[in-house]
Amino acid sequence: MTSQSFGQGEPALRRLNGVSPRWSLWQPGNRQLFAYLLLLPAVLLTAAIIVYPILSAIDLSFQRIKIAKLGRERAPLTLRNYEELFQSPEFFQAIWVTISLVATVTLLSYVIGLATAVMVNQQFRGRKLARILVAVPWAVPSVMAAIIWWWLFDSSFGLINWALVRSGLSGEMIPWLSTPGAATFVIVIVMVWKGYPFISVIMLAGLQSIPLELYDAAKVDGASAWGRFRFITLPGLRSVRGIALILIMLWVFRDFPIIYLLTGGGPQGTTQTLAIMTYQEAFKFHDFGYAAAIGVITLIISVVASWFMVRRSDEPLF
Amino acid sequence: MARSRTETVILYAVVISVIVILVFPLYWMFNTSLAPSTQLRRFPPVFIQPEPTFAAYERIFNERPVGLWLRNSALVALASTALSMFVSILAGYSISRIRARGSQAIGLFFLMSRMLPSTLIIIPLFVSFRQFQLIGDLKSLVLAHATFITPFAVWMLKGYFDTIPSELEDAAMIDGCTPLSALLRVVLPLSAPGLAATTLYGFVLSWNDFVFARTFLVANQDAWTVNVGVASLKGEYLTEWNEIMAGSLIAMLPIVLAYLFLERFLVSGLTAGSSK
């Protein structure tokens, strides 16, 4: 009994002297160890499911391998996949399709996103509901977004074809997804519909951070509505604009479900982005080495783009 | 600021027409799901169902394994989110609190991993999973989904831990807490909203996946997730659009509800790592 009560008093005494009661991971000397122990599970998991796969994809891209198996004999290292890739018109078409899709979808999403954000930032009754409704397509999963528009653009019984024929804008039903150009148009529409709300939500947050006094002062000085937008609103959004645009671009760049479900890259490769081409080469043509080479190039472009995103931050990351 | 009457009318007209255009596809989806099959291959289209029917909903539950697909999606989402949250809480806390050599680089690695194209990582994952005979097994999806949930969760959680003053843990440890119990008993309860938001979003990310589920599970129909299943309802020649719309609505409903709760968390969470 006595020793126990003595034992309870002792740590308090030590604490008073500024000495920690026992060896602790929080002690300055051990804190680094504690940091590493906490990071360990995440590092092990990502090593197994991210780092190792990336390295093995890079390795695959230097082998002529049809269907790859772990543990089987390695094919000799070769640059053939890359050589073939850089001589393939299909690859350059995919690069062009990717770049133009990213540019078009980003631009349209930005314009619609900004316009809707400005719209629901006005004072009016029902504004809360309007904000939710404007943002709602963001929440629709890509697969479902593709399915909804699939039906709207259906070649035999789709509403859009019916409306075009009915209004006389088109003489016949258009087979949207099998017509080059028209298929691209559909993909752009679906992506913009799914992508603009993200810009809108971020821009709305940016708009709300602009002090209203600026607008009042500009009005007093006689600035027009366009002048206020041009010289107050747009500069005020500078801080959120970059990140919103880059996230949208990366999303379009890497999208799989929308294009895969609607066209699979067709017709004649006119909607085949690098991401779709990677997938088709691997899982349709079982050309794993070649597919990995396309994937590695996609990765390099992604990393450069995201590095740009990290670099542009003025504050330190931590 | 007062607006004139005309301005108010114009504003409302603009707001209503813009919203009608943007939300119409969702209405059309709902409208189609309530249509009888006979109506789908006939013009003119019916904009308001005179006699709405739930027959399509009944059919997809009775004749298609939608219940099973939903269960599979939920199981995978729960397991992959749980796995990711476990490692991300510890890692996010470490990056937020302790300056250790190399931990900045690890944090940066997680940030960059968010940009990883899934169509690249899926190739080596497929090769490994086949070796371990995980193809066709839901476990393959749990691991694959952790590849995109973990990098996101680490950053979102780090952001929350940054907002909690570290004096609180120091005080707890002076009172005899170990560092780990200070994390469990002081920091985690205080970051409950952040934990809930991150967990919910991890669930959403997993639920929305298509590329991994389609590639790893395509041969095993019993393991299909709801996205793969619903997409398979689109037939080559004939599609029962009311069924596919009913299935899509059911599959996306939990996600849309989740977004309503998540919106304000996501604006800060998604932009984590960039300057404000």
Distance CA A96, CA B39 (A): 42
Is B100 in contact with A31 (Cβ distance < 8 A)? yes
How much is the pLDDT for B112?
Answer: 81
Is A313 in contact with B107 (Cβ distance < 8 A)? no
Interface of A with B in 79-108 (CB under 8 A): none
Interface of B with A in 55-84 (CB under 8 A): 83
How much is the pLDDT for A156?
Answer: 85
Give the helix/strand (H/E) hosting A249.
helix A238-254
Residues B255/A139, Cβ–Cβ less than 8 Å: yes
Is B90 in contact with A38 (Cβ distance < 8 A)? yes
Radius of gyration for chain A, computed over Cα atoms and rounded to the nearest angstrom: 28
Is A299 part of the contact surface with chain B (CB cutoff 8 Å)? yes
Extract the residue ranges of chain B whose pLDDT is less than 50: 274-276
CB-side exposure of A314: number of CA atoms within 13 Å?
A: 5
Cis peptide before A257 (omega within 30 of 0): no
Q: Kindly list the residues from chain B whose CB atom is less than 8 angstroms away from the CB atom of residue A142.
A: 208, 210
Distance from CA of A146 to the nearest CA of B (A): 9
State if pTM tops 0.95. Answer: no
CB neighbourhood size of B83 (10 A)? 19
| pLDDT per residue as tens digits for the range B156-214 | 899 889 888 888 888 888 888 888 888 888 889 888 888 998 999 899 999 999 999 99
How much is the pLDDT for A11?
Answer: 47
Is B22 in contact with A250 (Cβ distance < 8 A)? no
- Per run of 10 residues, the mean pLDDT along chain A (length 318 residues) is 40 47 64 88 92 92 75 76 93 94 96 94 90 91 95 91 90 89 96 94 88 88 87 84 85 92 91 95 91 93 76 46
Is B256 part of the contact surface with chain A (CB cutoff 8 Å)? yes
Q: What is the ipTM of this complex?
A: 0.89
- B228: closest chain A residue by CA: A143
Report the residue count for chain A: 318
Is B131 in contact with A143 (Cβ distance < 8 A)? no
Distance from CA of A153 to the nearest CA of B (A): 11
Q: Is B263 exposed, middle or buried (0-12, 13-18, 19+ CB in 10 A)?
A: middle
Is B5 part of the contact surface with chain A (CB cutoff 8 Å)? no
Minimal Cβ distance to A38: which of B91, B126, B258: B91
Residue intervals of chain A classified under CATH 1.10.3720.10 are 84-311
Q: What homologous superfamily is domain A84-311 in, according to CATH? A: MetI-like (1.10.3720.10)
Distance CA B188, CA B181 (A): 10
How much is the pLDDT for B150?
Answer: 94
Q: 3-state DSSP: chain A helix, strand, coil percent, rounded to 5?
A: 70, 0, 30
The count of CB pairs under 8 A between chains A and B is 305
Residues A200/A116, Cβ–Cβ less than 8 Å: yes
Distance from CA of A32 to the nearest CA of B (A): 5
CB neighbourhood size of A105 (10 A)? 25
Is B252 in contact with A276 (Cβ distance < 8 A)? no
Question: What string of DSSP letters covers A118-185?
Answer: HHHTS--TTHHHHHHHHHHHHHS-HHHHHHHHHHHT-TTT-HHHHHHHHTTS-SS---GGGSTTHHHH
Q: Kindly list the residues from chain A whose CB atom is less than 8 angstroms away from the CB atom of residue B122.
A: 279, 282
Sign of CA dihedral B219, B75, B30, B25: negative
**CA-based angle B108:B111:B113, to the nearest 5?**
110
Domains of chain B plus CATH, in order, are 5-57 (no CATH), 69-270 (1.10.3720.10)
Is B19 in contact with A41 (Cβ distance < 8 A)? no
Is B14 part of the contact surface with chain A (CB cutoff 8 Å)? yes
SS (H, E, C) chain B: CCCCHHHHHHHHHHHHHHHHHHHHHHHHHHHHHCCCHHHHHCCCCCCCCCCCCCHHHHHHHHHCCHHHHHHHHHHHHHHHHHHHHHHHHHHHHHHHHCCCCCHHHHHHHHHHHCCCCHHHHHHHHHHHHHHCCCCCCHHHHHHHHHHHHHHHHHHHHHHHHHCCCCHHHHHHHHCCCCHHHHHHHHHHHHCHHHHHHHHHHHHHHHHHCCHHHHHHHCCCHHHCCHHHHHHHCCCCCCCCHHHHHHHHHHHHHHHHHHHHHHHHHHHHHHCCCCCC
Which residue, among B40, B123, B154, B217, would best test binding to A if mutated, counting the most A CBs under 10 Å from its CB?
B123
How much is the pLDDT for B74?
Answer: 95
Is B210 in contact with A138 (Cβ distance < 8 A)? no
Is A118 part of the contact surface with chain B (CB cutoff 8 Å)? no
Minimal Cβ distance to A39: which of B94, B99, B146: B94
Residues B32/B38, Cβ–Cβ less than 8 Å: no
